[in-house]
Structure formats: structure tokens, C-alpha cells
Amino acid sequence: MSTTKFTHQTVLLNEAVDALNIHSDGIYVDGTFGRGGHSKKILTNLGPTGRLIVFDKDPQAIEVAMKLASEDSRVSVVHNGFSSLSTALNELGIAKVDGILLDLGISSPQIDDGSRGFSFRFDAPLDMRMDTSRGLTAAQWLAEAEEQDIAEVIKTYGEERFNRQIARAIVARRADNPITTTGELAALTAEVVRTRERGQDPATRTFQAIRIFINRELEEVKNVLPQAIASLNVGGRFAVIAFHSLEDRIVKQYFKSLVEKPKLPRWVMVKDEDLPAAPIEIMGKAIKPSAEEVSANPRARSAIMRVVTRTNSQ
């Protein structure tokens, strides 16, 4: 399938690349290549001896990445999720890197290509896999999962208060006809969700929840965070762009846990300066898109970027 039909506006392009504080001879990781917006900007800041390793699960994104790599020998491509970071770097013979960027969530081409099954705006096979070469589709999971499990997924990952009713309706419907298309799932959800949030389709939270679950998105974030910190050289930067509160909460709490001093019993006679130094420093406040960027690209409105620097090797 052609990868040129669907475009992607890179969010926080300059801010993210600036946050990496790129050295011309450094080694950097773009853990979410997408259509290469951030990667191409990173490459403009790298010298001839610099190196960029890009990851993506999506075969269409990998096709674009491989073309870039064929034109630029500084680029190495990993067809896998970013939670394979440590293993992939080891296989490439790389001990440490100087910067890592993650742009979490779904990309515009994945949403806008109706055949991928991510969007309720199109009637298409209910797939939702970022990596279409492996794993269960959303339709397969909905055909097999227990009602309680469906409800829990929609509640946990979609924060949908009608989760039980939606799960019950899915199980009742599949007894006669399994749900196989996005249109069928969207229509069923619209029948069940009785109150609608202004400007939001009643299927929004359910589609988000199932997508996150099918792709193990939050588990991937949790798994990569310690790997990323461990993979950084001292002085290296780690920037994470999140688009909804579930992702951002995981990132924020993990970074906070690394900089907080341990709470010791009052009787323990240890001075603050004798406690182990934090492995990272949080670089200022979280960064959000400017009003101008949101006006030009409304999908950027919920983005939030957090940046840390590796401060010691312990």
C-alpha cells in the first residue's frame, strides 16, 4: 500500500529536537518514527559521524524509514516497538546513546487511512493493530473476550462510564453476528452511550480504549522508561511527547520517582548530601504546543512534552 497518500504534521517539531541538545557526532534514537518528521530534523543537526536509530511497529512507517536509511547511511531501522530498546541497541553494538525521543500514541496516517480500522469516521475492517504483521485484531479480540474483560478495558483505557453497558451490548450482538467493522462498533456504541460530550463522538472513548489495549501502548511506555534512562550517556536527554492523561501520568510519575529522595525513618542519621544522587534532572516545566501550532494543527492541542537529562551513571 502506498505510504504517500496520508500525511502527518509533526507535533512540537522544533521544541522536541531542541530539547535533545544534539551533538553533531552523537547517537540518537527516535523511538516512534511515524513518517519521519522528527528524524529528518534530527539528521539536519547531526554531522557525518552522527548516528540515528529509528523504531516503529507500523510496516508502512518502516517502509518510509527504510527509504530514508537507503539514502542516509547514518540511519539504522528497527521494525519493532520502542520497548525493545535495550535489546535492539545491544544487537546494533551500541552501549549508550546521547538522546532519545518518544512521540507517543497514534499517528495521523494511521487515523486517516480508513482501512487500518482505527477510526470510527470510516467503515472498514476492525483491525486497530499498529503492526499489521502480528497479533490479534480488535475484531478477533472482541469475538473472544469475556464481557468483564471488555468492560475493564473500556473503563481503564477509555475512562468510559458506560463501559459495562457497551461490553454487554457487544457480547449480545456477537451471539448472532460478530462485530467485524468499525462502522458496526461505532453504531453499537452510539446506541448505548446515552449522553454525549460536546464535540466528541460517542465512540471516541471506546475506540481509544480498544486501540490502546490491542497495541499494549501503556505497557510499552512503562517498559521503555527504565530502559531509556539506563541507555543514556551522562548529559544525554530523554524527551517524551504524550497526547492523553494516561500516558502522561505514567511518564510524569516515573520521572518524579527518580528525583524524589527516599523517605527514611526519622531515627536514621543520614544527611541529604549523603543520599544517592538522582539519576536524572527534570528540565523545567512540561512543554505544550503554542497557540499558533494548535491553530495550524488541531490534533496538537493535547500534546505535552516532558524532558529529563541523565545526571550520573549510577
Binding residue numbers for S-adenosyl-L-methionine: 36-38, 56, 82, 103, 110
Helix, strand, coil abundance in the chain, percent, nearest 5? 45, 15, 40
SS3 (DSSP) at 130: coil
Output the nine-digit C-alpha cell for 92.
546494533
Is there a contact between 21 and 52 (Cβ–Cβ < 8 Å)? no
Burial label, 1 (beta-carbon count in 10 A; 0-12, 13-18, 19+): exposed
SS3 (DSSP) at 272: helix
Output the nine-digit C-alpha cell for 34.
511515524
Binding residues: 36-38, 56, 82, 103, 110
Q: What angle do CA 222, 164, 107 make, to 5 degrees?
A: 40
What DSSP designation does 194 have? -
Distance, in Å, from the CA atom of 157 to the CA atom of 37, rounded to the nearest integer, reads 28
Helices (H) and strands (E) in the chain, counts: 13, 7
